[in-house]
Amino acid sequence: MKDTFVGLGDMLISFSPPGYRRFLQADTMDVSYTGAEANVCFSLAMLGAKTRFVTRLPDNDIARCAVNKMKGFGIDTSAIAYGGDRMGVIYTEKGAAQRPSKVIYDRGGTSFARIKETDLDWDAVFADAAWFHFTGITAALSGNTRRLCLRACREAKARNITVSCDLNYRKKLWSEQTARQVMSQLMQYVDVVIGNEEDAERVLGIKAANSDVISGKLSNSDYEHTAGEIMGQFGVKKVAFTMRRSLSASDNEWSAMFFDQGKVCYSRTYTIHIVNRVGGGDAFSAGLIYSLMNGFEQQKAVEFAAAASCLKHSIELDVNLSTVNEVMTLVNGDGSGRVQR
Amino acid sequence: MKDTFVGLGDMLISFSPPGYRRFLQADTMDVSYTGAEANVCFSLAMLGAKTRFVTRLPDNDIARCAVNKMKGFGIDTSAIAYGGDRMGVIYTEKGAAQRPSKVIYDRGGTSFARIKETDLDWDAVFADAAWFHFTGITAALSGNTRRLCLRACREAKARNITVSCDLNYRKKLWSEQTARQVMSQLMQYVDVVIGNEEDAERVLGIKAANSDVISGKLSNSDYEHTAGEIMGQFGVKKVAFTMRRSLSASDNEWSAMFFDQGKVCYSRTYTIHIVNRVGGGDAFSAGLIYSLMNGFEQQKAVEFAAAASCLKHSIELDVNLSTVNEVMTLVNGDGSGRVQR
Amino acid sequence: MKDTFVGLGDMLISFSPPGYRRFLQADTMDVSYTGAEANVCFSLAMLGAKTRFVTRLPDNDIARCAVNKMKGFGIDTSAIAYGGDRMGVIYTEKGAAQRPSKVIYDRGGTSFARIKETDLDWDAVFADAAWFHFTGITAALSGNTRRLCLRACREAKARNITVSCDLNYRKKLWSEQTARQVMSQLMQYVDVVIGNEEDAERVLGIKAANSDVISGKLSNSDYEHTAGEIMGQFGVKKVAFTMRRSLSASDNEWSAMFFDQGKVCYSRTYTIHIVNRVGGGDAFSAGLIYSLMNGFEQQKAVEFAAAASCLKHSIELDVNLSTVNEVMTLVNGDGSGRVQR
Amino acid sequence: MKDTFVGLGDMLISFSPPGYRRFLQADTMDVSYTGAEANVCFSLAMLGAKTRFVTRLPDNDIARCAVNKMKGFGIDTSAIAYGGDRMGVIYTEKGAAQRPSKVIYDRGGTSFARIKETDLDWDAVFADAAWFHFTGITAALSGNTRRLCLRACREAKARNITVSCDLNYRKKLWSEQTARQVMSQLMQYVDVVIGNEEDAERVLGIKAANSDVISGKLSNSDYEHTAGEIMGQFGVKKVAFTMRRSLSASDNEWSAMFFDQGKVCYSRTYTIHIVNRVGGGDAFSAGLIYSLMNGFEQQKAVEFAAAASCLKHSIELDVNLSTVNEVMTLVNGDGSGRVQR
Amino acid sequence: MKDTFVGLGDMLISFSPPGYRRFLQADTMDVSYTGAEANVCFSLAMLGAKTRFVTRLPDNDIARCAVNKMKGFGIDTSAIAYGGDRMGVIYTEKGAAQRPSKVIYDRGGTSFARIKETDLDWDAVFADAAWFHFTGITAALSGNTRRLCLRACREAKARNITVSCDLNYRKKLWSEQTARQVMSQLMQYVDVVIGNEEDAERVLGIKAANSDVISGKLSNSDYEHTAGEIMGQFGVKKVAFTMRRSLSASDNEWSAMFFDQGKVCYSRTYTIHIVNRVGGGDAFSAGLIYSLMNGFEQQKAVEFAAAASCLKHSIELDVNLSTVNEVMTLVNGDGSGRVQR
Amino acid sequence: MKDTFVGLGDMLISFSPPGYRRFLQADTMDVSYTGAEANVCFSLAMLGAKTRFVTRLPDNDIARCAVNKMKGFGIDTSAIAYGGDRMGVIYTEKGAAQRPSKVIYDRGGTSFARIKETDLDWDAVFADAAWFHFTGITAALSGNTRRLCLRACREAKARNITVSCDLNYRKKLWSEQTARQVMSQLMQYVDVVIGNEEDAERVLGIKAANSDVISGKLSNSDYEHTAGEIMGQFGVKKVAFTMRRSLSASDNEWSAMFFDQGKVCYSRTYTIHIVNRVGGGDAFSAGLIYSLMNGFEQQKAVEFAAAASCLKHSIELDVNLSTVNEVMTLVNGDGSGRVQR
């Protein structure tokens, strides 16, 4: 049965100072494992979906810790390739108030950045697959991973698998120019494009009229225009945007827009006092993919995805540990945070 | 001299993940000791009252830890009975933003749930007692604890001791139907009833006209009507309600109403950025009981109780560690949180 | 292919004060998940075996944490039954020097203690199974679990599966008399009996001539005599004993004996400076079962099992996280603890 | 080259319960090193200034820890005197919501409080110095430190060094009367006076018309009047005030005013969700001094100082770990707290 | 009934780096409350004795934490005087292997060091008292505490209370010369003298023939000679010595000698792998006093005291948290450290 | 004045699970900064020497943390070059008993591995330098670092600076063959060679007659023979060996040999109960270099170096935080670990 979600991307070890400590104040760090596509996998597994995560990892104990975590969520890790020298490392300092979160990447020369197309058994990668998801980060890492994305998209389409892509622009990984060139080529295989206010402009070169990326004050018509352009230029059928308004690192407004074949739906807007915003976009992708894999109608899909990612902001580390019940409670209007006892 | 407060109820060991971690993220947990009546005792002891806590505990080191904590606050633990197999365990995951706190009870078959009336020396329980307090949780635990509540109320009234009861409805412990039947019988002994917006409806079956329990948007007249019903039906002289408006798990509005023989007083309303809301109701009970044991007039009593419970929301774990000075500073209008140095 | 190990038993949440703190000194506790058969499963999974763990758990987040940990090690958890009210809780205070470790059980009324034979799908339990393992602890918990053991043994034998049993006498769970009666009945189904110096005497009533259980000073001939008795009385083919000499809670001597159809082999004796001795017996069982499932000859089998359990003493918490390579390095004589870099 | 900032004051070891725990809940405490002038030094060093910190410390390992921390920031510690018995100790309980932070001083009889003018080598203290900064706390500690302040001011003026003073009134250290007498004498040497809404009134006896110190609701004209008085009475050329409006311990409004030779400039007002407000004033001093040492014009200076101290509120412990880049990003309008990646 | 133990001495807040970290490596420290006589009180309370602790403390939250801890053990704290400025602070770095533990005292000018005889209500101090205990540390702190010791001894003797004194020489607090002069005067009131190999020589000036204080290699006859001298010179009836042989900071041999009116008894010798040796002497004092208050015969008394203090070495922080059962198990020969389950 | 020690090498961020946890059990890790030459610098700075550390680091906050730590010890970091992408990462799992410590290197493509000779200002590197130290690890990292070693040695010799080299063979970094070829070439510049039992054989190809590297059982004559060969083949004047006998990861015997121009001296042998053995060799190098820079005679030099490194084994993390006083106390015979108070 074709019922499995497949995520393909990097898996990093993530170190972060406890609480709101800055790097300079940290003699211990919290350890977790992260990666845009991996986080989507974790989220979907929490929601009860069948999931597979594919990457390339070195053959050492740190990588084993990461794989064990995934297995613990019931994610199929059997298609992971082993080899190379190192996992990527990411250092995250959590922001608060007017101080933004800070991220230090150490992801050069990793086992994944050096992956070759032939390292993977593509039949194993896509066995029983109904959905394939990747992000712009994977395309950004290296020439090898760019080729990998292309190959994966082709393998997926050849198997009639739905393909989604979170644009996920990271300016520390590549220039806008390279991003545009690479991503434009990949778009032809993509059925569902996911992004935020920055991505469309920086990755696809589609600029909204009155954008103010820093404050996130875009009008709905800006978003609709941008989505229309994406669909027109690349033949994409579905486009979803998260819309963040950053009041500060501690307080955000958060909502989403979902464009499906000419029709647009908006989710409710959440005012969120943030515990940790990292992974909010991945949680949205997971929520949307879950909705579409389960045939939710368009409005319910965008509400489910927005609520899932809203809840992520209340959760430490990068993964959305919310269940379908928890998301649906919020979709149905209870954001009161009352104790259940 | 009759000057001692007596609380009778369960004492549990409480485990909670550090910070805002979810259960799935916790490799260590914070340990504390809790219980509705125990928390009232702790609070009153912090306020300087003479207190006694009565329960039944197993004879093991974990129970000794709990008793030592109480002794540390000067609470008289000499009437506690020992026997049975286990203390109850409670797991609490602290909520934030739109994610509610989550509580897992493991309190079946505990030493306290299996207590027999004859396990206690009632003269020792009520020696020098001026006030007796219990909650609906104790009545909910088991047939044994229901009989215990009845016996305790009768013993208290026979000694002319004031009796207060926090309705404290817990849907995980009993049905509304059983709650109503049991609590209605106990009401005849109760002088002061304490509750919140859910309790009156679910426990006593008295429904406000336009209640919306989830958001907590009740009108004052709803509360007044409900209080009137309680006083009419059960001959209770005093009724106090806490009024919570949950904006999210992180932000609440909080105030209180106190009905005393036909006259109603409202406290100021506090807008609270929450550290930990668990135990807010117990802190209110303690504040109100302290006020009444010390002869505060009605308005001062409700302000004191509301301020005490407001401060609880700024404190980790379940116990209100506020002193009379700290509460009075807030009653007198300084909620500015300025550093004292 | 019949290649799967099946463990059946309880799964508890385990709380222990950090480092060498006593219960009275603990405001945080380390959290882990444990159980005799579960620990054997974890160990075997670390050694690379195919494993399945079967138990009954409540349907709550704490149980989910435990299941996720098992899945993380690749253990098949699909045959676990859900229902009932609670997981067992175990509190462990780690000893040192002349102060012994201390264990508080809170395992009454658990989902597992109340398991019914019909809660499990026996075909799923034993699908592809080559080996079934249980311990005296499971037999000790309740009438329900005793019946479960009997049923499981019969189901296993009907499928021609090898059955092993670690006697694992726990005086806090049952009397010697009950233990003897129950375990004697179960022995007829057991192919491999595992125990230590106390178990044979207390569980099977077979007393060595000059035993001194406290110091562990038994002669080899005592062990051989006892093993012979077990084989004679119950028709067991293989008997293995761990031999611990407790110099203090910090320093032990440790070795093992393995009797197989008339021939006895002894392992090397290890002098161990202990990090945590809990789970040493479970690590031995896992090592022995691994050896026998992989056809190791008798001397190698006892050396492998002894080395595996020796390494467990250097590891925190209850599970032996050693790989085959690590065990074989010690079997081959390198106990020098030199850094590998 | 005269380019070095010199701070002279106390250095304390600071203990604080983790997170929002109260003292009664703390079995571990976070350790840091603090002091008003020391914090200014740390901040300036983070901003890239050449700095020297001067104090007197006992010759023990705790003091060495403090000095090592300073050296780690590149602060010149070579003019520190050693002798006496003890460092001061400060215990800080972090407030939240309506509960204020609480500070317990244990700073009597310290090595610094007993410092003699002759303990310092004044040429070493002021080698290459362009700026000298002290606070009212140093003047408050003891007769010895009062004489030290006087001597230091005279030595500085003799070397034509700019002198700044943060009034920093601490009611636990001295009475308003003594403060006025001592500080009035010192003012003659001071070029730049820094303070907040309480200080001018309590230290210098200059009362605004409609002050409400607790809520911090002063009008701009009140501040301007007060600044004018200070400049008139003491011949001070520059006066800067931080203006805090405490909504609660968790939420403050924060801005600043800077009066320079007849002209007043106001900074933007920040609404801050607070991580830790202790050290906000020191961060402001550092920001202002940095601005003036680098020749920023008046409006930029007050914006830089206000933004620096705004960021401090998002940082744990007492020191502002912000870089010039981070401050300038906020000055330039990005307080959105967006992740940089 | 005269059945209460009274300890009089200092109470300090104690900070120690976690595990084996040195001061330079500690960003958090463990917090506890300690003091020689306080530790004896804690130990006796754990053993079930009625105890009272008397000291003078400042009126602040840190002192309240200390008092709460004592109350938690059931120690009567009602005779404690309040006043003065500060509690003493002690920093302890735990040694290991060849690296000794390191202690930094910050106990000048404390509330206790400045206690006046008239601060205490002597009738309250000695109500129901059977035993009074103090140590050389109290005599060493200040002139005030010396006078306090003298007064306390006289008050005790006037009430016919047994007086014990642990010589407890601390070279960081006073010189041998002063110690001798002060302690010699106090000896006339003392019934039971407790000490170790250093104390007799340094405090009382009684030198064993072949002492080697560092390695602790004294012969029994040296100890006996010294004890005889003490009894002869000061008319003391009972003398007890702990005998430590320090192999390293991690491994010690430990035993005790007890001289009672001409007869000497030796305890068994324990070889101890140390968790924390601080407080070993206090645990011995408590064990001996418990033995004598309960009428143990001489050999049992010394064995009980030695076993109690042996167990202390396995316990973190300064207090012996052992029960009578645990001590008696070791006295009766089980030092095997086997798990109890 | 030529009085400065210069170390040149890599600086890594080091993560290690707390206590004895394995990688699989670690949700937090302790953070520190390490590197063979850096550790020698830290140790020498603790001993009071003037030190400079030279490396190449990326321009990010993690590197700044490392540099700040060094500055905190007074190490001159002004000659460090900045550039490149990443610091190396090292993961260390601390062993115990029969389980060895485990190290995972992630040091490919680091800023240091890609250093070019021209990145350094050699006059700044060697300003005031009396001693230059490097290790085989630096030579092993990359072709770039090999060239760097050669250049550094030549620059040092041209300035008449003493050169020492710790052979420090790491089999995870290079083969024996490459090591031999590279190190043989560098030996011509080296005045003092430091190594252990493995190094001479693996790096220089000089094999002792009866070596047993794993257990470390080499005879003195083996060491003397090996030293002689080194001196003969490479014209080295001084050779020092540490001699470790690994009883287990918890217990080692430790001593040293120092060959100087035909004369050999042995240090005392220490039996050490280990806290953390990593960095023991670096501590030895620092002790020896300190001795030689201060003109200690040969026997004192080897005793000082051996005692320093013995103390390191009692200290957490990789750096020897011992002072000259502490080392001399052990040299003078007090390894008793008695508390100093």
User: So what's the pLDDT on residue F225?
Assistant: 86
Which residue among D19, D313, D335 sits closest to A19, beta carbon to beta carbon? D19
Counted residue by residue, chain F has a size of: 341
CB contact under 8 A, D24 and E64: yes
User: So what's the pLDDT on residue E209?
Assistant: 59
Nearest CA in chain C to B26: C31
Name the CA radius of gyration of chain D, rounded.
19
User: So what's the pLDDT on residue D196?
Assistant: 87
CB contact under 8 A, C27 and B31: yes
Average pLDDT, chain E: 93
Alpha-carbon distance values, F195 to D268, E230, F166, F214 (Å): 63, 55, 6, 16
Residue A58 to residue C131: CA distance in whole angstroms: 33
Q: At E1, is the pLDDT very low, low, confident or very high (cuts 50, 70, 90)?
A: confident
**Interval F56-77: pLDDT, tens:** 999 999 999 999 999 999 999 9
**Chain B touching partners, 3 or more CB pairs below 8 A:** A, C, D, E, F
Q: Are E264 and E227 in contact (CB under 8 A)?
A: yes
Nearest CA in chain B to E77: B74
User: So what's the pLDDT on residue B45?
Assistant: 97
CB contact under 8 A, B25 and A339: no
**Chain D touching partners, 3 or more CB pairs below 8 A:** A, B, C, E, F
Place of tokens 């070891």: D13
Q: How far is E237 from chain D (nearest CA, A)?
A: 39
Q: Number of residue pairs across A and F with CB atoms under 8 Å?
A: 74
Lowest mean pLDDT, pick from C32-46, E218-232, F92-106, F132-146? E218-232
Q: Are F249 and F96 in contact (CB under 8 A)?
A: yes
User: So what's the pLDDT on residue B196?
Assistant: 87
Nearest CA in chain E to D93: E61
What average pLDDT does this structure show over F264-269? 96
CB contact under 8 A, D341 and A247: no
User: So what's the pLDDT on residue F229?
Assistant: 87
CB contact under 8 A, F97 and C310: yes
- Reply yes or no on whether the pLDDT at A324 is more than 70: yes
User: So what's the pLDDT on residue E304?
Assistant: 98
Residue B267 to residue E72: CA distance in whole angstroms: 36
CB contact under 8 A, C62 and B104: yes
User: So what's the pLDDT on residue F340?
Assistant: 74
- Helix (H) or strand (E) run with residue C150 in it: helix C143-158
Q: Are E238 and E190 in contact (CB under 8 A)?
A: no
Sign of CA dihedral C282, C283, C289, C292: negative
- Reply yes or no on whether the pLDDT at E33 is more than 90: yes
Structure tokens at A55: 């990457």
H-type alpha helices, chain E = 36-46, 61-72, 122-125, 136-141, 143-158, 176-187, 197-204, 220-234, 280-293, 298-312, 324-331
Residue F70 to residue F56: CA distance in whole angstroms: 14
**Interval D181-205: pLDDT, tens:** 999 999 999 999 999 878 888 888 8
Interface test with C, best of E31, E327, E338 (most C CBs within 10 A): E338
Q: Are A134 and A152 in contact (CB under 8 A)?
A: yes
Interface test with C, best of A28, A32, A71 (most C CBs within 10 A): A71
Residue E146 to residue E181: CA distance in whole angstroms: 11
Alpha-carbon distance values, B115 to B41, B293, E87 (Å): 20, 29, 44
E97: left (phi over 0), alpha (psi -120 to 50) or beta: left
Structural domains present in chain B = 4-329 (3.40.1190.20)
Nearest CA in chain F to E247: F336
Nearest CA in chain F to A66: F24
Interface test with B, best of F23, F25, F27, F28 (most B CBs within 10 A): F27
Please give the share of chain A, as a percent, with pLDDT higher than 90. Answer: 84
Which residue among C22, C27, C68 sits closest to B30, beta carbon to beta carbon? C27
Sign of CA dihedral D188, D193, D195, D197: positive
Q: At C218, is the pLDDT very low, low, confident or very high (cuts 50, 70, 90)?
A: low
Nearest CA in chain E to B78: E74
Residue F268 to residue E8: CA distance in whole angstroms: 46
Shortest CA distance to F124 belongs to which of F162, F155, F79, F71? F79
What average pLDDT does this structure show over D317-330? 96
Query: Pairing between strand F4-8 and E270-273?
Result: unpaired
CB contact under 8 A, C316 and F21: yes
Nearest CA in chain D to E60: D104
CB contact under 8 A, F246 and C272: no
Q: At E235, is the pLDDT very low, low, confident or very high (cuts 50, 70, 90)?
A: confident
Residue D138 to residue D282: CA distance in whole angstroms: 14
CB contact under 8 A, C72 and A69: yes
Instruction: Please give the residue that has the higher pLDDT: either B337 or F333.
Output: F333
Give the list of residues 6+ apart from residue C340 with CB closer than 8 angstroms, or none. F100, F101, F102, F103
Residue E336 to residue E264: CA distance in whole angstroms: 28
C127: left (phi over 0), alpha (psi -120 to 50) or beta: beta
**Interval C246-298: pLDDT, tens:** 889 999 999 999 999 889 999 999 999 999 999 999 999 999 999 999 999 99
User: So what's the pLDDT on residue C336?
Assistant: 81
A42: left (phi over 0), alpha (psi -120 to 50) or beta: alpha
User: So what's the pLDDT on residue E214?
Assistant: 52
CB contact under 8 A, B29 and C28: yes
Q: At E216, is the pLDDT very low, low, confident or very high (cuts 50, 70, 90)?
A: low
Nearest CA in chain E to F46: E24
Give A-chain residues touching D326 at CB under 8 angstroms: 99
Shortest CA distance to D331 belongs to which of D304, D297, D294, D310? D304
- Reply yes or no on whether the pLDDT at D304 is more than 80: yes
User: So what's the pLDDT on residue A43?
Assistant: 98
Residue E330 to residue E313: CA distance in whole angstroms: 13
Q: Are A57 and A80 in contact (CB under 8 A)?
A: yes
Residue C75 to residue C5: CA distance in whole angstroms: 10
pTM: 0.94
Q: Are B194 and B238 in contact (CB under 8 A)?
A: no
Rounded to the nearest angstrom, the gap between the alpha carbon of residue E256 and the centroid of all alpha carbons in its chain is 14
- Reply yes or no on whether the pLDDT at B218 is more than 80: no
Give A-chain residues touching B243 at CB under 8 angstroms: none
Query: Pairing between strand B28-34 and A270-273?
Result: unpaired
User: So what's the pLDDT on residue F217?
Assistant: 59
DSSP class of residue A5?
Answer: E
- Reply yes or no on whether the pLDDT at D213 is more than 80: no
- Reply yes or no on whether the pLDDT at E211 is more than 90: no
Shortest CA distance to E190 belongs to which of E247, E274, E132, E142? E132
What average pLDDT does this structure show over B285-307? 98
- Reply yes or no on whether the pLDDT at F211 is more than 60: no
Q: How far is F177 from chain D (nearest CA, A)?
A: 41
Shortest CA distance to A280 belongs to which of A248, A239, A247, A322? A322
Give A-chain residues touching D321 at CB under 8 angstroms: 22, 24-25
Chain A positions contacting chain B at CB under 8 Å are 19, 270-276, 307, 310-311, 313-317, 321-322, 326, 330, 333-341
Q: Number of residue pairs across A and E with CB atoms under 8 Å?
A: 3
**Interval B19-65: pLDDT, tens:** 999 999 999 999 999 999 999 999 999 999 999 999 999 999 999 99
Q: How far is E66 from chain B (nearest CA, A)?
A: 9
User: So what's the pLDDT on residue D210?
Assistant: 58
Residue E197 to residue F146: CA distance in whole angstroms: 58
What average pLDDT does this structure show over E234-248? 92
Shortest CA distance to D169 belongs to which of B107, A97, B341? B341
What average pLDDT does this structure show over E311-330? 96
Instruction: Please give the residue that has the higher pLDDT: either D206 or D24.
Output: D24
What average pLDDT does this structure show over A269-288? 96
CB contact under 8 A, F316 and E100: no
Average pLDDT, chain A: 93
Place of tokens 């403060």: D179
CB atoms within 10 A of CB A118: 9
Rounded to the nearest angstrom, the gap between the alpha carbon of residue A314 and the centroid of all alpha carbons in its chain is 17
Residue E43 to residue E52: CA distance in whole angstroms: 12
DSSP class of residue E340?
Answer: B
Q: Number of residue pairs across E and F with CB atoms under 8 Å?
A: 87
Nearest CA in chain C to A73: C68
Q: At D226, is the pLDDT very low, low, confident or very high (cuts 50, 70, 90)?
A: confident
CB contact under 8 A, E335 and C248: yes
Calculate the CA dihedral of residues A64, A69, A73, A78 and round it to 10 degrees: -10
- Reply yes or no on whether the pLDDT at D5 is more than 80: yes
Residue A220 to residue A256: CA distance in whole angstroms: 10
- Phi first, then psi, for residue A122 (nearest 5°) are -65, -30
Average pLDDT, chain B: 93
Give B-chain residues touching C64 at CB under 8 angstroms: 23-24
CB contact under 8 A, C71 and A73: yes
Residue C107 to residue C115: CA distance in whole angstroms: 13
Q: Number of residue pairs across A and C with CB atoms under 8 Å?
A: 16
DSSP class of residue F160?
Answer: T
Residue A173 to residue A10: CA distance in whole angstroms: 13
Residue F110 to residue F88: CA distance in whole angstroms: 6
Coil, strand, or helix at residue F129? strand
Residue D147 to residue D333: CA distance in whole angstroms: 44
- Reply yes or no on whether the pLDDT at C211 is more than 60: no
